[in-house]
Amino acid sequence: MDQKITNEYLRWVNKVNEDKDLVKELQDIKDDESKIEDAFYCDLEFGTGGLRGVLGAGTNRMNIYVIRKASQGLSNYVNEHYKNGSIAISYDSRIKSDVFARTAAEVFAANGLKVFIYKELMPTPCLSYAVRELHCSAGIMVTASHNPAKYNGYKVYGEDGCQITTNAAAEILSYIEKLDIFEDVQHGDFDSYLKEGKVEYIDDELTTRFINRVKEESLLFNEEVNKDVKIVYSPLHGTGLKPVTRILKESGYKNIIVVKEQEEPDGNFTTCPYPNPEIAEAMQVGIQYCKKYDADLLVATDPDCDRVGIAVKNKNNDYVLMSGNQVGCLLLDYVCSQRVKHQKLPANPVFIKTIVTTDMAKKIADYYGVKTLEVLTGFKFIGEQVLFLEKEGKEKSYILGFEESYGYLSGSYVRDKDAVDGAFLIVEMFTYYKTKGISLLDKLDELYKQFGHYSNYLKSYEFTGSTGFKKMNDIMEKFRHDVTQIGDLKVKELLDYSKGLNGLPKSNVIKLIFADGSSIVVRPSGTEPKLKIYVSLLGRSEEENSNKNAILFKNIEELL
């Protein structure tokens, strides 16, 4: 084992004494070189997503020392750019999230920054809202989103309430890298800072303002609908319980059944080991509730309540999970049609989607005369475009943004995907159509008939090590220069985002648009040694697209 790794491990053994779990782990791995090496061979990577990693001892793990170092680097960045800087903090239900939130607060306060922190766990969109409303210089959200229980993370937000993008992340990282994890970090006592006023709890009134602001996103415009629908809701052991049930009840939806087994915060995610509403397994307990209570709709939010998934009843009384692309297209059509109907469509309306989100959305937007902006993968780039609109005094032109991974936002009050807003609008849309005798599946079929039947698929291919990295790059170059046809699909247009298309940051992403209106997006994952391929197929039916997809991926794998 490398001597540097051994020395760092021994330094941790000598220095770590505040967290008994870390002390025990360091002792437990003393005779296991592979575990020591994995925990200390590198620092946990900091980027636009902040930090995310497995909980445990070591520089390549999530623990209070890594949190302190990152917070010191962020403090130095904020103090360099702002006088009298301040930071807002929120956290989710994950293991040690509350500890990490307090740990970060102790570092910020020690560095002269005013800290605003929620009294209890609170969704990611509430953090974004607090940053903006309290005029903070930055914000952090302690969460690993929908990852399994062994993970936690630390997302960083700018003064605009949007996750930091490339330039800010690089600058903050430069401050972090200058620090010794034990010697260069200032911190103190949370309770003392609280008494001194250097740390302040965020008042409940701010949460009420957030809820009321989301209510303003309603598109009923005083139309009467039957709100006596039976809704099963699950927060998947996360932060969504209070805000989601509150906004629905205050808006007149009284018939809400909460999944008891998933109601309480639980960092172990006992009933759903992978707490992601995109995954069928995570929705199974909720679907059982739907069958038991003969519910109309299942709504589930992920642990930090920025993603929302749903299931609806079909004509056979089975419950069907709907994809992020399907729900997004339904919401886009609902938002546009209601605004047109009530003459509430703003001048020069704008819809924002990521480049891997279904191409069907642009067709819907075009139909209503709404401009579509396409951005790189990640909701932070949608938030960034809303900021640009705001700077031009045009934020009211923004009517909706969504990404295929179950993230939606209809207003400019926050700059990240918001599952409180998403759940609220989905329930309203469902109720609106149900009052007219139309199911969401019926409405989706109607949209398919109008705009073409789009089906979307995602497949990942793993390439590990340095040879795998080289092979991924070779594959990307092949798609850039050599692919003019895949099977029967002829390439009509190639979009190479490494050139910084349409004013977007340069990114190693390629989109091939085929002559029949189908497309694929190819990109290396930013967090894993994987090549991701997103397919959007246009056909006459799901069956036709499924068959076409099988053939397409067979041809793609021959290229790989």
Residue 241: which H helix or E strand, with range?
helix 241-250
Q: What share of the chain is helix, strand, coil (3-state, %, to 5)?
A: 45, 20, 35
Query: In what side-by-side order are the strands of the sheet with 350-354?
Result: 371-375, 350-354, 398-403, 407-409
Backbone angles phi, psi at 135, to 5 degrees: 55, 50
Q: Which of 86, 128, 145, 234 is catalytic?
A: 145
Q: Starting from the edge strand earliest in sequence, which strands make up the sheet with 453-462, in order?
A: 453-462, 530-539, 519-524, 510-514, 489-496, 485-486
Q: Inter-axis angle of helices 64-81 and 166-177, to 10 degrees?
A: 110
Q: Spell out the residues 6+ positions from residue 323 whose beta carbon is closer than 8 angstroms to its own.
A: 404, 456
b (16+ CB within 10 A) / e for 259-274: bebbeebbbebebbee
Whether the CB-CB separation of 39 and 59 falls below 8 Å is answered with: yes
145 is catalytic: yes
Distance CA 199, CA 486 (A): 58
Pair of tokens at residue 27: 């002792």
| Token duo for residue 199 | 């740390």
d(CA 365, CA 352) in angstroms, rounded, equals: 10
Q: Which residues are catalytic?
A: 145
